[in-house]
Chains A and B, each alone.
Chain A
């Protein structure tokens, strides 16, 4: 069985997401699709699964054309896709999620049986009546895979599946994929993580800027893949040792608002220090960060910023104390769609006057756009900017004298160049005395830039380690609650 894509073109406005892509996948081997964020991998796979309509091109399964732009047709042909954020219905039960859209006349008890049977083949376990929102990302993936197999998928596409899952979940996933490939399925593994592609796949296609720039059989030299992915040698910014200053943030036996795990946090962060928060999604980093930002109030304990006790403070008190919070959702919580760059700068300035001098504001915005290398004009609205430029804008909006910077996922979804630029700015700030606390799902990022790493699991801090003393492997196990074997 073979799957072929020919001449797939897809544009979004002026951006060519996929630019005439040809690809061939064979059964029995796991095929990797490698490329950095923004290379066009996800778009290509969404075309394959019928989620998105291409502008041109065709898809052939065993020589027969598959109708494009229809998820029904793709499912009927046996093509199933696991999206990066597994598309489950959060308030519905696991069983309802399993059944929805299957189009089968099957009673619930029988379906629950199938769910268990298929899942058991790979060591997946489900509680059919639990709400899907209670599942971790890894478990949601398992549910989706089981569902796709039940529907008779012969082609399985996985889009960045290893973000946000623990090492043991990843192991289980990889062994499941190997079994499926061995059973004659076509498996496509889309990722920007070299090591994982090298570990799992037998063949790999590399994409850059919407085109397939090379193919290889694995094992093959890593430099070859890097060369294909980036077209140049890549050197991320280096972190130098910084003399630590006074304590900027201190938590003493702080309990969070919803007290789910009865966890107590005690931590001191000093000026110039970089603390990384590792952990699966939903392990407690988010509420922790938000409490440190003053968006949630501690139920117990003392939270101080510098000398000020802000245990009962509100977000605006924190802002005044020099705390700045950068959320993960750039357009959801950080920027404002529909407002221009000029307007964003005006808002961030928090000026006290009445009238706005638009002329002066635009001129000032022009300067700051240039200084921060943002691709846009003062009249560009936030939603018109690319992800990388949005992050540049968010960083540019920060006051110059931030004492404590709290970030959720600073480089999520960014291409390498933008990600490197972000960290250059952040390291510069830390050199000047800003303390940084950030959460990330990227273990490499955590290891490269943190001084200390706090590993979160089930709402508590499982372990605190110095970045220099640990490894990616150990972290991978820790976030899953286990110690490395």
Chain B
């Protein structure tokens, strides 16, 4: 049982990176719909770099830079050119996916070492939790850190409050001297960097190697989980782990239902629709009204200015 949970935690780590990263960008008001494509491109770039250079670390760096570049393009198109974020994101997601396929061709079937395991001495010996949480590698530990760092930053620092303000009501933030568009650039690129790490976490850790379609539509799932998570990093990460659990369950059921073996992997995605359906109803809001102390976690309202461009005149 604890081995299964450990595998869920590890398998979900790329998704956690992507969800937290996109939560940050969307909290600032920018939707990065290119997520699926840029994760694929980062995964390929990370793998290719690690393969040619022999360094897994360089692979991660390369993956990060690729996603950051794409995110920068989205931010530029939205802020400077005032283009529709969904349109630009959609084109980029297809483009990056195709670029990844084309450029990654020579690397299909190649092998790399991957992220070395690093169990934490001492903590690994805790019964149950030790196996689940502390017998992984740096990539997975990073995903834990990222959740709490994002949570703490957004909700417990003044810069984080400014971030929330930028996505909620940019005119009000602007009136208070906050540089709205600069921050939107910054946080979109930060979100992009985390998505790059997600890509590398895929091709260099969870699912070693590169092939077309390797990242299995995880980018789209991440976008949905951000909504499911109510733009809260902890709730979003919970959604990621839930999805991971569903995927592992589907995998374990395969030998029992061989006829459905091809479509079982698709069920978590379909369940995602129902999850969104669940979250879009009023009951959560009413719950948030009953328990105001948990309002932040429960109420899933999107940042009011999400998807819009801000300009002062």
Contact = CB atoms under 8 A, between A and B. Distances in A.
Indicate whether A and B are direct neighbours in the complex (CB within 8 Å): yes
Interface in B153-195: 158, 161-162, 164-165, 168-169, 171-179
Interface stretch (A94-102, A358-366, A422-430): A94-102
Contact of B162 (A72, A100, A104): A100
Nearest to B171: A87
Given A52-B313, A53-B313, A101 B168 contact: no
A89 B177 contact: no
B164 A92 contact: yes
Contact-size category for B: 20 to 34
A51 B175 contact: yes
Interface string B94-131: 00000000000000000000000000000000000000
B301 interface: yes
B301 A71 contact: no
A83 interface: yes
Given A89-B169, A92-B168, A100 B312 contact: no
Interface string B300-311: 010010000000
Q: Which secondary structure characterizes the binding site on chain A? A: loop
Interface in A65-115: 70-72, 74-75, 81, 83, 87-92, 96, 99-105
A340 to B, nearest CB: 22
B172 A71 contact: no
Nearest to B313: A52
B168 A102 contact: no
Contacts of B172: 87-89
B313 A89 contact: no
A49 interface: yes
Contacts of B299: 91
Nearest to B165: A100
Q: Which one of B161, B164, B292, B299 has the highest number of Cβ atoms from chain A below 10 Å of its Cβ?
A: B161
Given A49-B175, A81-B175, A96-B161, A87 B312 contact: no
A247 B197 CA distance: 69
Interface of B: 158, 161-162, 164-165, 168-169, 171-179, 292, 295, 299, 301, 304, 312-313
Interface of A: 12, 49, 51-53, 70-72, 74-75, 81, 83, 87-92, 96, 99-105, 129, 131
Given A71-B175, A87-B175, 17 more contacts: A71-B174, A71-B176, A74-B177, A88-B172, A89-B169, A90-B168, A92-B161, A92-B168, A99-B161, A100-B158, A100-B165, A100-B176, A101-B178, A103-B158, A104-B158, A105-B158, A129-B292
